[in-house]
Amino acid sequence: MSAMRVSLLYAEAPRTVHEAQVELADGATVAQALAVSGWAQRFPSLLAAEVTLGVWGRRCTGEQALRDGDRVEAVRALRVDPKVARRERFQGQGARGAGLFAKRRPGSKAGY
Protein backbone atom coordinates (compact mmCIF):
# COMPACT_ATOMS: atom_id res chain seq x y z
CA MET A 1 0.00 0.00 0.00
CA SER A 2 1.54 3.29 -1.09
CA ALA A 3 0.71 6.76 0.12
CA MET A 4 -0.07 9.91 -1.80
CA ARG A 5 0.16 13.58 -0.84
CA VAL A 6 -2.81 15.87 -1.44
CA SER A 7 -3.14 19.62 -0.86
CA LEU A 8 -6.32 21.07 0.65
CA LEU A 9 -7.35 24.72 0.26
CA TYR A 10 -10.34 26.52 1.75
CA ALA A 11 -11.13 30.23 1.72
CA GLU A 12 -13.30 30.59 4.80
CA ALA A 13 -13.70 34.35 4.34
CA PRO A 14 -12.39 36.98 1.93
CA ARG A 15 -8.57 37.20 2.07
CA THR A 16 -8.42 34.22 4.47
CA VAL A 17 -7.12 30.97 2.98
CA HIS A 18 -6.43 27.78 4.92
CA GLU A 19 -4.03 25.27 3.39
CA ALA A 20 -3.02 21.79 4.51
CA GLN A 21 -1.08 18.81 3.17
CA VAL A 22 -2.32 15.30 3.98
CA GLU A 23 -1.03 11.82 3.22
CA LEU A 24 -3.64 9.29 2.16
CA ALA A 25 -3.76 5.73 0.91
CA ASP A 26 -4.17 5.20 -2.83
CA GLY A 27 -7.79 5.40 -3.94
CA ALA A 28 -8.84 7.83 -1.20
CA THR A 29 -11.70 10.22 -1.92
CA VAL A 30 -12.21 13.94 -1.39
CA ALA A 31 -14.46 13.25 1.62
CA GLN A 32 -11.76 11.06 3.18
CA ALA A 33 -9.16 13.79 2.65
CA LEU A 34 -11.37 16.31 4.45
CA ALA A 35 -11.96 13.84 7.30
CA VAL A 36 -8.23 13.06 7.72
CA SER A 37 -7.36 16.76 7.78
CA GLY A 38 -9.88 17.43 10.55
CA TRP A 39 -11.41 20.26 8.53
CA ALA A 40 -14.90 18.70 8.66
CA GLN A 41 -14.95 19.37 12.42
CA ARG A 42 -12.95 22.62 12.30
CA PHE A 43 -15.08 24.18 9.54
CA PRO A 44 -18.70 22.96 9.75
CA SER A 45 -19.55 25.18 6.77
CA LEU A 46 -17.59 22.77 4.52
CA LEU A 47 -20.43 20.26 4.79
CA ALA A 48 -23.05 22.88 3.94
CA ALA A 49 -24.62 23.15 0.52
CA GLU A 50 -23.15 26.61 -0.20
CA VAL A 51 -19.58 25.26 -0.44
CA THR A 52 -18.53 23.64 -3.70
CA LEU A 53 -15.74 21.07 -3.84
CA GLY A 54 -13.28 20.83 -6.69
CA VAL A 55 -10.02 19.22 -7.75
CA TRP A 56 -7.69 21.58 -9.61
CA GLY A 57 -10.59 23.97 -10.27
CA ARG A 58 -12.96 21.31 -11.66
CA ARG A 59 -16.15 20.73 -9.70
CA CYS A 60 -16.47 17.32 -8.05
CA THR A 61 -18.33 15.46 -5.32
CA GLY A 62 -17.05 13.96 -2.09
CA GLU A 63 -16.83 10.54 -3.78
CA GLN A 64 -14.24 11.72 -6.33
CA ALA A 65 -11.09 9.55 -6.19
CA LEU A 66 -7.84 11.43 -5.74
CA ARG A 67 -4.37 10.98 -7.24
CA ASP A 68 -0.96 11.90 -5.91
CA GLY A 69 -0.34 15.64 -6.07
CA ASP A 70 -4.00 16.64 -6.46
CA ARG A 71 -5.21 19.95 -5.04
CA VAL A 72 -8.64 19.85 -3.39
CA GLU A 73 -10.39 23.22 -3.23
CA ALA A 74 -13.44 24.17 -1.20
CA VAL A 75 -15.03 27.24 -2.79
CA ARG A 76 -17.65 29.52 -1.23
CA ALA A 77 -20.54 30.80 -3.32
CA LEU A 78 -20.15 34.31 -4.72
CA ARG A 79 -22.13 36.96 -2.86
CA VAL A 80 -22.29 39.27 -5.88
CA ASP A 81 -22.36 38.41 -9.57
CA PRO A 82 -19.06 39.77 -11.03
CA LYS A 83 -20.85 41.15 -14.10
CA VAL A 84 -23.32 43.09 -11.96
CA ALA A 85 -20.52 44.43 -9.73
CA ARG A 86 -18.54 45.65 -12.75
CA ARG A 87 -21.62 47.28 -14.27
CA GLU A 88 -22.34 49.13 -11.00
CA ARG A 89 -18.72 50.31 -10.70
CA PHE A 90 -18.81 51.59 -14.29
CA GLN A 91 -22.07 53.47 -13.68
CA GLY A 92 -20.58 55.09 -10.59
CA GLN A 93 -17.47 56.26 -12.47
CA GLY A 94 -19.32 57.44 -15.54
CA ALA A 95 -18.51 56.72 -19.17
CA ARG A 96 -15.56 59.15 -19.29
CA GLY A 97 -13.98 58.00 -16.01
CA ALA A 98 -13.34 54.36 -16.86
CA GLY A 99 -11.87 52.21 -19.57
CA LEU A 100 -9.05 52.54 -22.06
CA PHE A 101 -9.95 56.06 -23.18
CA ALA A 102 -10.43 57.68 -19.77
CA LYS A 103 -7.26 59.80 -20.12
CA ARG A 104 -7.35 61.61 -23.45
CA ARG A 105 -4.83 64.19 -24.48
CA PRO A 106 -6.33 67.62 -25.09
CA GLY A 107 -7.20 68.09 -28.75
CA SER A 108 -6.84 64.39 -29.66
CA LYS A 109 -9.39 62.40 -31.61
CA ALA A 110 -11.87 60.18 -29.78
CA GLY A 111 -10.42 56.73 -29.22
CA TYR A 112 -6.77 57.83 -29.32
Give the CATH number for residue 47.
3.10.20.30
Domain count, the chain: 1
For residue 62, being part of any structural domain is answered with yes
Alpha-carbon distances of 33 from 45, 55, 59, rounded to whole Å: 16, 12, 16
For residue 102, being part of any structural domain is answered with no
For residue 101, being part of any structural domain is answered with no
User: Which sign does the torsion angle of CA 23, 28, 30, 34 carry?
Assistant: negative
Whole-prediction pTM value? 0.66
Domain of 31 in residue numbering reads as: 3-76
pLDDT, one tens digit per residue, over 61-90 is 888 899 999 999 988 877 788 888 888 877
For residue 88, being part of any structural domain is answered with no
For residue 43, being part of any structural domain is answered with yes
pLDDT, one tens digit per residue, over 6-16 is 999 988 778 88
